[in-house]
Structure 1
């Protein structure tokens, strides 16, 4: 009889609604976390977005793209390895006004694609929004890569502003690193062929 009573029992579906632990924190906190992730690694941001819908939503907000930094990647990296997800990431960052991305996009436009006007426009924009490295690069390009005397003078004036702000040494150190990174990337590129 014990076996028959088990057969007579009806199967009852129990529906238990669980609160997703990710929903317990406000979206602003997840967005702040996503900004920190994006500041350390574009790849980690992509991985975060692929994890779940909550992370995708938080990691896709304009705030993430506006405040993400790319300084952990060598500037020269953007000259050689800018396609696929990284390119879309950079474009979205530029679209929302990310100054770090505007510098990199201007650098690529000017040096890789030879679009001097577009590159200078982007570098000047990043410089006016407070990116000292963009101002330094802009000044250097105006002084040494332009024949127009007025542009050369403007480059000298920009360099003087950077010198007065006592950022000249950090900028020159930054760009020594850029050129060292470019040499390393070029050697890697030629070694893989």
Structure 2
């Protein structure tokens, strides 16, 4: 009997010695760190998730996907690689209401797949959530539809709101950059 109590004591000592020091910080702190990582580079978030169970749990939380920014990643990157981890990352971000992701998904629906109604719905959703770029794109597309006078008028009103906010030039630059990325993309495929 004396031998069995020593075995039990050893088991307890081993589990205490191997307690993960990462568990000393609350999960919320690790989630905040993971959000910052995701905002810098998606690949770093994937690497963080593969490191350990603590990081996997923290980096997989909805808060991380809701607040991650994707502006450093060219939009065309998401349009081309539908089967890559970035695409699944974008889908998850849209699910939890990430405004950057909703804008990118709307762009893909409208321009890549030709589902204009779905694209406009996503642009309107992102615009409602505070994306000035989505509002600008929505207004521009409404202004291009010369057949529906009511939509053109809505587009004019939206563009006026953006102009008054002082963000018209930054929105124009955002979309010039996107279309420059598209030109590079098309030249790349044309040369193959």
After TM superposition, is the score higher than 0.5? yes
Does the aligned pair in 2 maintain the 1:109–1:115 contact within 8 Å? yes
User: Is residue 142–residue 151 contact of structure 2 (8 Å, CA) maintained in 1?
Assistant: yes
Residues 21-70 of structure 1 deviation map (CA, whole Å, 9 limit, x = unaligned): 21121111110110011111111111111111111100000000000011
2:134 equivalent in structure 1: 134
TM-score w.r.t. the length of structure 1 is 0.88
Is the Cα–Cα contact under 8 Å of residues 145 and 151 in structure 2 kept in the other structure? no
- The Cα of 1:144 is off from its aligned counterpart by 1.4
**Could you say which residue in structure 1 is the equivalent of 2:89?**
89
Q: What TM-score results when the alignment is normalised by the length of structure 2?
A: 0.89
User: CA, structure 1 residues 147+81, in 2 after alignment: closer, same or farther (shift >3 Å)?
Assistant: farther
Distance 1:67 1:121 in 2: 21
Partner of residue 50, structure 2: 50
Distance in 1, matches of 2:78 and 2:156, equals 27
1:9-24 equivalent positions in 2, closer than 5 A: 15-16=13-14, 17-24=17-24
Tell me by how many angstroms 1:19 deviates: 2.4
- In our comparison, the structure showing a higher alpha carbon Rg is 1
**Residue matched to 2:122:** 122
Superposition RMSD on alpha carbons, in Å?
1.6
Output one character per residue of 1:80-123: Cα deviation in whole Å (capped at 9) or x when no partner: 22323222111111111111100000010000000000000000
Where in structure 2 are the equivalents of 1:135-150 lying within 5 Å?
135-145=135-145, 147-150=147-150
Verify the 8 A CA contact 1:50 1:56 in the aligned structure 2.
yes
> For the residues of structure 2 that align with 1:75 and 1:84, how far apart are their CA atoms?
14
Greater fraction helix: 2
